[in-house]
Chains A and B, each alone.
Chain A
Amino acid sequence: MRKSFLDFGRVNAEKLLHHRLNILIFILSILTLFLIGRLYFLQVISFDHFDTLSETNRIKYIQTAPRRGIIYDRNNIVLADNSSLYSIEINIKESDNIEKIINAIKEQINISKEEIENFYKKKSKYSHHNSIVLKSNLTDSEIAKVLSIRYKFDGLDVTASLMRKYPYKEITSHVIGNVGYIDKVDLSKIDKKKYKSIKYVGKTGIEKSYEDTLFGSPGYKHVEINARGRQIRNIDEKPSVPGKDIHLTIDVELQKYMYSKLLGYSGSSIAMNPNNGEILGMVSMPSINPNDILWGSYDSSKEIEKLDSPMFNRSINGLYSPGSTIKPLVALNAIHEKVVNLETEIYAGPFFQLPNSSRRFRDWKPEGHGVVNLQKSIVQSCDVYFYMLADNLGIKKLGSFFKTFSFGEKTGIDMPFESKGVLPSEEWKLKNIGYKWTDGDTVITGIGQGYFLTTPLQLVYAASILANEGSIVIPKLNKNLDIKKSKKIIDREKFLKNEIKKEWWNAINEAMFKVVNQENGTAFWTTKNKRNNISGKTGTVQVYSLPQETDEREKENLPKHLKDHSLYIGFAPKDNPQVVVATIVENVGSGSKFAAPFSNEIIDYYLNKIRGRN
């Protein structure tokens, strides 16, 4: 009984389904017939109408490029601008014989072999563009000559476009960065629809990090074209919206001065306002004129990674041992961990030795410093004292203290591709070097040597925390950027303000003041006029280690690339710091001879000449 009832239900359901399907198909068939009727109406009845429309369909919508935002320094001086650029373009898809066109142009104006080669190179490299530039930067007479033969060839055109100009050339090149041809890598990252009419995009520096702001939004033009696709006249248009201008924190006068100081050397120097993180000047040497590389076949994404390239930005990508500039931090850590107090004195001989080891960790001063306390060991940069401190602290405590100063991580500046540096630890060494961490590794970390690597930006960041006695500011280049500190940074700030006593900060800063202002300080001679109350710390980083017994004078005879790096961090005025500077000069010698005088002159220049004017 039950089974037949079930069957009965099933049969009913199937019947209903067939019935419903018939209804549905019926409705859909009527819709289809209606659609066929519509097609008949469009294609047969209204054919003449649409045929005429299609024939006269000469209205094309063309995207118009927005004006790129201008980049200014803090005093409204233009650092990156646009200028009109006329170029010969050949549309590959519209022209039948490219060679013929080029030959015809050659008869009219001068075109170098290089330009032709470049054209073919670009043609294969940027095959996604329809139009490829043959020659840029045309003069008025060249424009006239090319226009006179334009009518003979499809696909040949003279176009006006905005070109980027960098008036300060090499001086601002790493900060501003540059724009360049959109390549296949960029193509995957940008909104292709927005860039239809634009051939370039920010590649490095501010031009890259603020690409979206500077870009604006494109407009559209409604133009009449002939059957071959050539534009005849404009019908209407929706203007593009220009990109927003950007005001940097850079002061170009200071930037120029810093550039002049480092000219001829390799290295970097950064000046920052410790009260708000505004970068006042930032140079990396050697440098390159960005106007020259703009439209070449230069691949900036590769160049900025090459250590020997002038496009390599040492300020944020150069990795250096911090050397003795790290000593103030080691000292703070040691007091906080109660390894020593401000009064603890030890006898610092010519070297330090670990128990059960014959290796001698030597001081830079062959005869040693004698009896020193913490402050004195900073003023004279006594290595043995800091070997002892590092050994007592151990790498774990040192590492976690350094981390509160953002070593081993990005500072968060508004620039692309910032490096993290290396904050070594036991795990780091095992993973990256393959060996176990040794006590000797810890000892040399105490004087900023070994595996510990920092960028100049990280040094200026750390120096600003010293100057601020624990307050942290995030470095920035865009004057209108509001940075909200992350919870991590706020927690670190709390630690530095609550756990590190004010008298300790004062003691360390007093020692750094004496480095510059006390007769036996390592940077005493670097500034004659002591009006600005500069505090600082020198650092000398060994690139090549000489046998310890070598005479100091022999260092002068080393080949250039093996000479020491010269480092310095400094800030002023002592009681209310307005500027922090970190400088690294590669392969020249000790910190007190190059980086320190350069930095102190930069600080003096800023406080005497720039600050008053602002």
Chain B
Amino acid sequence: MNSEKFFGITDNTLFICIAFLSFFGLVLLYSATNQNIDVVFRQGSRLIFCFVLMFLISLVDINKIKSISPYVYLLCILMLIITLLWGHDVKGAKRWIVFFGFSFQVSEILKIIVPMTLAWYLSLSEDKEIDLKKLIISFSIIFAPILFVIKQPDLGTSMIILLCGVITIFLGGITKKHIIYLLTLFSFAIPIMWKFILLPYQKQRIMTLFDPNLDPLGSGYHIIQSKIAVGSGGFFGKGFLNGTQSQLEFLPERGTDFIFAVFAEEFGFIGALILFLIYLMIILRCLHITYKAKNYFSKIFAGSISSILILLVITNIAMAVGLLPVVGVTLPLISLGGSSLLSIFIAFGIMFSINRRI
């Protein structure tokens, strides 16, 4: 498998799957945007940039990546502050900063950087079990950036970042006793959050999940239309560019949050199964790298990425089939948008770098 290396690409199966899915994402985007070739070209150029970045990262030694991870983390926090102060206002939320004409959403990349920083921190004293102090520091690493993301305000992404961090801490060996404590704390926190933290529109999104007809014009509309799109796709789908839901613009946010609905309408249940299969292959390769990885940092990070990848896919699809509220999670490698693409490709770059050390 490693006979011929292109840059640091040491796992051809993984690479081919990534390339196939991201290219297929462009094709799907063409349909989702009502055949707007401009958007496809723009996403295509972002994709090329991401591939180059992935190649470059794959060449960097994993120990080097480990040693710079806390600095990357601090840089992210700095960028979050910049976002809050001078961020680009879209629909009342400040989530974007503009660098050299490119707008960039820092919160997206945190889904990778928070687990990476935790992996670095936990591998500093890998031989010792996680005590309370270590646990508190670990959670501080998660919550420091999340506070800024909540302020943007972007609760959906905050929850995802939290979950990503929790996965890493779980893999890093949190004791059973602490798990029980945290679960208890969490079950008390939920009613408090509902009462004091959630904004009315966020509550409404959750309420309409249980009964979309509560608000068929507003947030329920997304769920109703998305379910119709997915369901009417049937077993074989309506065929590429033939999805009436998406082509007639019934479906909102077709390029990003609801791209899976476009896919499922046009390619059906069988298409969805194939998509799952490709994701499965990617994840199996990632798990392979995790089990083979030589040092503890690599192991925690690779394990986290494998799990987070599944988490993101599941969350996005669950949104499209009306099982989760619309929290704004993109479908890895496929959805429109530069920042989420960038973070996923950085993750794969690091995975390849780990794989070179096996």
Contacts and interface: CB of A to CB of B under 8 A. Distances in A.
Contacts of B287: 21, 25
A57 B170 contact: no
B268 A28 contact: no
Q: Is the interface of A mostly helix, strand, loop or mixed?
A: helix
A97 interface: no
B230 A35 contact: no
B95 to A, nearest CB: 15
B315 to A, nearest CB: 10
A229 interface: yes
B234 A51 contact: yes
Contacts of A12: 127
Interface in B237-281: 244-245, 248, 250, 264, 268-269, 272-273, 276
A13 B217 contact: no
Given A20-B171, A61-B217, A193 B91 contact: yes
A8 B126 CA distance: 11
A146 B299 CA distance: 71
B232 A51 contact: yes
A354 interface: no
A38 B231 contact: no
Interface in B113-143: 126-128
A42 B127 contact: no
Contact of B299 (A17, A25, A35, A38): A17
Contacts of A548: none
A444 to B, nearest CB: 44
B291 to A, nearest CB: 7
A60 B229 CA distance: 15
Given A14-B299, A28-B307, A39-B230, A44 B235 contact: yes
A44 B270 CA distance: 10
Interface in A554-607: none
A9 B128 contact: yes
A20 B173 contact: yes
Given A20-B173, A38-B323, A32 B276 contact: yes
B150 to A, nearest CB: 23
Given A39-B264, A193-B91, A13 B244 contact: no
Contacts of A50: 227-228, 230-232
B318 A35 contact: yes
B206 to A, nearest CB: 18
A306 interface: no
By CB atoms of chain B within 10 A, which of A18, A31, A42, A55 has the most?
A: A42
B87 interface: no
B252 to A, nearest CB: 10
A96 to B, nearest CB: 15
Nearest to B273: A36
B105 interface: no
A167 B296 CA distance: 78
B245 A20 contact: no
Interface residues of A, number: 43
Nearest to A28: B310
Nearest to A45: B231
B165 interface: no
Nearest to B270: A43
B303 interface: yes
Given A10-B296, A13-B127, A42 B317 contact: no
A39 B321 contact: yes
Interface in A38-66: 38-40, 42-44, 46-47, 49-51, 53-55, 57, 60-61
B148 interface: no
B170 A24 contact: yes
B221 A191 contact: no
A420 B219 CA distance: 47
A24 B234 contact: no
A54 B229 contact: yes
B276 A31 contact: no
A433 interface: no
A219 to B, nearest CB: 10
A43 B233 contact: yes
Interface of B: 91, 126-128, 167, 170-173, 217, 221, 225, 227-235, 244-245, 248, 250, 264, 268-269, 272-273, 276, 287, 290-291, 296, 299-300, 303, 306-307, 310-311, 314, 317-318, 321, 323
Interface of A: 5-6, 8-10, 12-14, 16-18, 20-21, 24-25, 28, 31-32, 35-36, 38-40, 42-44, 46-47, 49-51, 53-55, 57, 60-61, 191, 193, 220, 222, 229, 238
The 10 closest A-B pairs by CB, nearest first: A50-B231, A9-B127, A54-B232, A43-B269, A42-B231, A50-B232, A28-B310, A47-B234, A21-B303, A16-B173
